């Protein structure tokens, strides 16, 4: 049995200790906002926050989540995430949308750490979040816009 906090609520799951957090979220807890892309920590689609840090949930074993705080796209609601979501809508960032929950989780973690990021900061933070629709230019623009919204 593993106990952890998910989006502010205590959750308990009775699964194999080496089950990836991504499977726990999607299959056990029916939280399907976090996406499966590659399964090998190479695309970023499954990004969630673990104790405030962005992690790839496909390569995070549930036994390592005991006692931790997990935040997913369904629950992320800090100032950075609110600004990111507003900027994403304003600039119409998503195309198919599949990668976007991971992009938003990664970008909101960046803005918490670095509220006024440079292009280089953005590229460094976002380079491992892949987008098959190549929305990279809009993502970068929207992160700058979100930083302005946060500052206002
Ligand atoms: S599904 Fe986890 S990084 Fe691709
Ligand atoms: S918006 Fe389609 S994969 Fe990113």
Domains in the chain, ordered, with CATH?
Answer: 2-71 (3.10.20.30), 79-151 (1.10.150.120)
The ranges of the chain with pLDDT < 50 are none
pTM over 0.85: yes
pLDDT given for residue 97 in this prediction: 97
Which residue is listed with tokens 């799951």? 13
pLDDT given for residue 13 in this prediction: 98
Tell me the CA distances in angstroms from 52 to 92, 95, 97, 105, 134, one per residue in order.
Answer: 26, 27, 23, 10, 27
Would you say the CB of residue 41 lies under 6 angstroms from ligand 1? yes
Q: Phi/psi of residue 37, each to 5°? A: -115, -65
pLDDT given for residue 7 in this prediction: 98
Rounded CA separation 82/24 (Å): 26
Rounded CA separation 8/12 (Å): 13
| Candidate of 33, 56, 103 to mutate for ligand 1, largest count of ligand atoms within 8 Å of Cβ | 56
pLDDT given for residue 102 in this prediction: 98
pLDDT given for residue 116 in this prediction: 97
């Amino acid at each position: 049995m593993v106990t952890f906090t998910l989006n502010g609520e205590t959750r308990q799951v009775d699964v194999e200790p080496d089950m990836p957090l991504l499977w726990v979220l999607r299959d056990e807890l029916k939280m399907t906002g976090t996406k499966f892309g590659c399964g090998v920590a190479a695309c970023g689609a499954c990004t969630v926050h673990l104790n405030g840090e962005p992690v790839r949930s496909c390569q995070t074993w549930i036994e390592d989540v005991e006692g931790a705080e997990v935040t997913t796209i369904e629950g992320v609601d800090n100032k950075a995430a609110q600004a990111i979501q507003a900027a994403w809508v304003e600039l119409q960032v998503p195309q198919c949308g599949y990668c976007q929950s991971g992009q938003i989780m990664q970008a909101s973690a960046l803005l918490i750490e670095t509220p006024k990021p440079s292009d280089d900061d953005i590229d460094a933070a976002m380079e491992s979040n892949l987008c098959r629709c190549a929305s990279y230019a809009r993502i970068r623009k929207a992160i700058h816009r979100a930083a302005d919204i946060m500052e206002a």
